[in-house]
Amino acid sequence: MIWGVFGGSLLCLGLALFFWLPSQSLVHDLRADGVTVVATVTGVDNKPRYVRVRLLQGARSGTETELWDYAGMLPDAHSGDSMMVTYDPKDPSRALLHSWVVDPPTNLPAFGASALAALFLAGALIGAVRRRRLLRAGVTRSSPPAQA
């Protein structure tokens, strides 16, 4: 039981890293090497699953690309809107809203998975300490209760 709870904490930690690392890596790369330009929104899915933009400035002017999501979130945009976009000049498909590069939004999935990981880890530690105390006291399931 304790190993299962500990395994749950490791699973949640893995999920937190899964949500956190790609987003942080993209923001770090765009801060280091990104090019910021004005773009026009050319298409938005109503789910929203994508926001497609056309770059209006720079060496890649006229290029259409989809914005990457940040922790599963996309900016609230409508067709025809203008926005500042930062993209990777080596791979223009790696584009993100400029304000999200400067100040990324809260990564709620990563925080939630981290909180669950901490909760499961605390449960595993409490269970292990309790089991150790019971074993030291000599209490087992098969032993009869002590007579008074």
Reference 118, options 16, 1, 23; nearest CA is: 16
Domains of the chain, by residue range, sit at 2-102
82: CB partners within 8 A, 6+ apart: 38, 39, 40, 41, 56
pLDDT tens readout for residues 89-100: 888 888 898 988
Element (H, E) at 121: helix 108-137
CATH for 2-102 is: 2.40.50
pTM score, two decimals? 0.67
How would you write the pLDDT of the chain (148 residues) with one tens digit per residue? Answer: 778 888 888 888 888 888 888 888 888 999 998 899 999 999 888 776 888 999 888 787 888 888 888 877 888 888 888 999 999 888 888 889 898 888 888 778 888 888 888 888 888 888 888 888 888 887 666 656 666 5
**Exposed / middle / buried, residue 141 (Cβ in 10 Å: 0-12, 13-18, 19+):** exposed
What beta strand segments (E) does the chain contain? 35-44, 51-55, 64-66, 82-88, 91-97
